[in-house]
Amino acid sequence: MSLLQIVVLAVVQGITEFLPISSSGHLILVPVAFDWPDQGVLLDVAVHVGTLVAVMIYFWRDVGAMLAGLGRLLRGKFDPGARLAAMVVLGTLPVVGAGLALKDMIGDDLRSLTVIGWTTLGFGIALWLADRAGMTVRRVDHLTWRDALLIGLAQCLALVPGTSRAGITMTAARVLGYERADSARFSMLLSIPTILAAGTLAGLEVQASGDLQLSHDMILAGALSCLVALAAIALMMAWLKHAGFTPFVLYRIALGSLLLWIAYAG
């Protein structure tokens, strides 16, 4: 794989992973747009792991509180950090179960322009409706077990390319009345166990294959996506403290419409 392809994929992933516009959809579209061979799932996972490191750095206080809380939980003490960790685990269980149950059904057929176009457009409109209708009175500290589970169930829809894991979880959180920045915050914390599991499996697969070049490509792509993702997270969180999701919705509508035009026009 060329250096240019690695850089482009890393930048695209870093920008799109935590924005509600679907990183997986963009990673599928990059080789189509540039007439490159598909980079494969392993490199996709590598750039996702890079963004995982970025979110752990940005939300280091939350990550530290969760880890410390889990340690105290083992000693029989349940504190806010342990509670947040439990909420993240609860929100992750549905997508793990759905992924295992549907793994044979989620294949190349769903990585098509038609599917990505409709999901990009449809779930973009859903985000806009949720953002307009949802109240802004609740924060992550108010998260209930029911809400964590509902957001986790919504995350299952992200198994379909173009849906956007960040987008659908933020949509669900806004429907439940959480503030925009807090919707984004829990969405990003919810990404940690999912990406960590996928990255671990990919690492074991690369080790078993003995493909050293693939390892180098994955490390470079992961490092670049981490740096870009840090900047994207900071900018989005600053934006959501004062404004809504409309720019992301407009982008999704434009991109989804373009993809559907290309798909149906041949």
Radius of gyration from C-alpha coordinates of the chain: 18
pLDDT at 213: 61
Give 230-251 pLDDT, tens digit per residue.
Answer: 999 999 999 999 999 999 999 9
**Mean pLDDT, residues 121-134:** 95
Task: Please give the Cα distance from 84 to 186 (Å, whole number).
Answer: 9
Task: Please give the Cα distance from 27 to 4 (Å, whole number).
Answer: 14
Number of Cβ within a 10 Å radius of residue 148: 23
pLDDT tops 90 at residue 113:
no
Task: Please give the Cα distance from 34 to 6 (Å, whole number).
Answer: 12
Task: Please give the Cα distance from 142 to 208 (Å, whole number).
Answer: 44
Split at pLDDT 50, 70, 90, the class of 210 is: low
pLDDT at 99: 81
The pTM score is: 0.90
- Decide which of 194 and 166 is more confident: 166
Name residue 159's amino acid: L
